[in-house]
Structure 1
Amino acid sequence: MAFIKRMIFKYRDFLTYTVFGFLASVVNIATYWVFRHTLIWPYLLANTMAWLIANLFGFFTNKSLVFQSKYTSFRALFQEIISFFFFRGVSFFLDNGLMIVGISMLGWHSMTAKIVDQLIVGIVNYITTSYTFKKSEKQMALRGRILRHYHTIRNRGKS
């Protein structure tokens, strides 16, 4: 049981990112479907809107729930937003590029291309998002070391 607790503590960011990253992909795919197949928008425009909505969702869930990043000023929040969307800009071009290749070059159905696209983009997004909130990760690691130290000292006194 202690091993499982250590593993959950060690990989907490990855596990929570996986859950919220999956939800952001669901938001992306569902939004794409609405714009492309209900409103009949061109696939790149539908994809761009889906990317924007999913990334707004992703920023706030990653910031507050996954990496638990706290900010003390509007400037700090603004810097995180700029950093997040800068790196997500990379995924935007990857996202649209994969859609072009899947639909226009390979002739896939747009939803098949979108799902494959989201799997690849999700991996890239994890790497870039963890960099954006890296400061928070360092703070979490420090809190973990402090807690371990506290429990070690407390348990020595019981012997």
Structure 2
Amino acid sequence: MAKIHAFIRNHFDFLTYTVFGFLASLINIFTFMGVQNFFHAHYMVANTIAWLVSVIFGFFTNKSFVFKSKYSTGYALITELIAFLFFRGISLLADSFIMFGCISILSMTSLWAKIVDQILVGILNYVTTRYIFSRDQREMFQRLRSRRTRRKKDDVER
């Protein structure tokens, strides 16, 4: 039992990311299928809409529950959001490429293509999300903010 507790404690970020990542993937898949089937949208349009919905969910769950990044200032929130959207934008490119390859080249059904896509993109998203909300990253942003504040203060004094 002690080994299980130690494992959970040592891998808590990954385990909680897996749970919320799974939920984000379900949101992505159900949104994709809903938009594609209900609105008869092209799979790339449905994929982009599904990406947007799951990214909004992912930002707040990763920030609050997985990596426990605090809402210290509005500036810090915007900085994390921009970094998150930047890296998720990269994952949208990978997402779109995988969907195109699976559906247009390999002739997979859109559901199976989306499942394969979510597994591969999920791995990419974990690596980039961990970077965004890591303590070292937050400390770097704080150093940059304090340096900018000092520079503004020096400019005012001149």
Fold shared per TM-score above 0.5: yes
Does the 8 A contact of 1:68 with 1:136 survive in 2?
no
Aligned to 1:53: 53
Q: What pairs with 1:33-48 in structure 2 (closer than 5 Å)?
A: 33-48=33-48
TM-score normalised to structure 2 length: 0.84
1:97 matched to 2:97? The reply is: yes
Aligned to 1:111: 111
Does the 8 A contact of 2:131 with 2:137 survive in 1?
no
TM-score normalised to structure 1 length: 0.84
Alpha-carbon shift at residue 106 of structure 1 (Å): 1.0
Aligned to 1:151: none
Residue 99 of structure 2 aligns with an amino acid whose one-letter code is: M
Residue 129 of structure 2 aligns with an amino acid whose one-letter code is: T
Alpha-carbon shift at residue 138 of structure 1 (Å): 8.6
What residue ranges of structure 1 are gaps of 5+ in the alignment? 140-159
| Inter-partner Cα distance in structure 2 for 1:38 and 1:115 | 19
1:122 matched to 2:122? The reply is: yes
Does the 8 A contact of 1:99 with 1:114 survive in 2?
yes
In structure 2, relative to structure 1, the CA distance for the partners of 1:98 and 1:22 (3 Å cut) is same
Identity of aligned pairs, percent? 51
Calculate the aligned-residue CA RMSD, in Å.
Answer: 1.6
What residue ranges of structure 2 are gaps of 5+ in the alignment? 140-158
| Inter-partner Cα distance in structure 2 for 1:68 and 1:136 | 14
Q: What pairs with 1:1-159 in structure 2 (closer than 5 Å)?
A: 1-135=1-135
Deviations 1:3-43 (A, max 9, x none): 22111111000000000000000000000000011211011
